[in-house]
Amino acid sequence: MYIFATEPIMSMLNDQIPAFQIGNIVAAPKGNMSYRDIKKVVLERIQNRVWGPDSLLPGEIELAEEFSSTRTTVNRALRELAEEGFLDRKRKAGTRVLKSPVRKAQVTIPLVRDEVAEAGASYRYSLVKSEVLRAPLWLTAKLALKPNRDVLHLQCMHFADNDPFQLEERWIIVESVPEVLDADFTASGPNEWLVQRVPFSNLEISFFATKADEKTAEFLDAAVGDPIIATQRTTWLHGEPVTHAVLYFAPGYKITTRL
């Protein structure tokens, strides 16, 4: 049995740009600063309570002068810190330190190949089925698709040391990703192709326990009725659905997430 620890799906930027401290004030390094430099200094000032909870930060123009940078660069640094849960930004009201800074999720989609390799196993992929068809009614309803939309349905197997690891059932909306019809998935899976070529603006992930039916039991080398873990994942780009996948893992799979 393999126990896999997934790549952490939540991560903070951990920059290595030096700053120095005078008393409680974290001073900026000299010279033109990148947005990463600025993020590091601002975050250290927040953590050292130079700018305490609910403090109003100086304006972008003032910070740009201090950091020998542009207002655009300062804006990017502050925007990312807001996205990561440290700042609250409101137009005309300025930028404030959150009263209770919260570490927010930075989500990435893991690759099965990487999961298997990190467990010290040899990865192998096999395409089982590829077909273009009209979206089934349940998928049309779930993703609020227009009637009679074409989808590319793919069924793929992923192996670890030639043992079944994951059965992937995936539907890709052709209207959203028309170039998928020219893609070749015989050597590598659709997830890798999508991660490399198609961005997403929204992501929904569900984890659930289920029992292997005849199809999943056959592919995963399990007995019918065996408990297995499954993941359901859907991505959108600017409100348009891109792909929906259900991933079934072989018995013994373990999910570990680190913050």
Please report the pLDDT score of residue 144 as a whole number. Answer: 96
pLDDT digits (tens, 9 = 90+) for 170-182: 999 999 999 999 9
208 and 143 in one domain?
A: yes
132 and 55 in one domain?
A: no
Q: How far is CA 203 from CA 120, 236, 245, in A?
A: 29, 6, 12
Q: With residue 191 as reference, give the H or E element that holds it.
A: helix 190-197
Please report the pLDDT score of residue 233 as a whole number. Answer: 96
pLDDT digits (tens, 9 = 90+) for 106-148: 567 889 999 999 889 999 999 999 999 999 999 999 999 999 9
Domain with residue 148: its CATH number is 3.40.1410.10
Please report the pLDDT score of residue 24 as a whole number. Answer: 46
Please report the pLDDT score of residue 154 as a whole number. Answer: 98
Q: pTM for this one?
A: 0.63
214 and 121 in one domain?
A: yes
201 and 129 in one domain?
A: yes
Which residues lie closer than 8 Å to 175 by C-beta, 6 or more apart? 146, 149, 150, 240
Boundary-marking domain end, from 37, 67, 97: 97
pLDDT > 50? residue 20: no
| Angle, CA of 231, 174 and 164, to the nearest 5° | 35
pLDDT > 60? residue 152: yes
d(CA 59, CA 83): 18
| Angle, CA of 185, 196 and 235, to the nearest 5° | 90
pLDDT digits (tens, 9 = 90+) for 22-65: 344 455 555 578 999 999 999 999 888 899 888 999 999 999 99
Which residues lie closer than 8 Å to 114 by C-beta, 6 or more apart? 7
Q: Is residue 160 part of a domain?
A: yes
pLDDT digits (tens, 9 = 90+) for 63-75: 999 999 999 999 9
d(CA 132, CA 176): 14
Number of folded domains in the chain?
2
Please report the pLDDT score of residue 176 as a whole number. Answer: 94
Judge contact between 254 and 2, C-beta under 8 A.
no
- Containing structural domain, residue 42: 20-97
- The encoded tokens of residue 216 equal 């999943």
Q: Is residue 256 part of a domain?
A: no
Q: Is residue 195 part of a domain?
A: yes
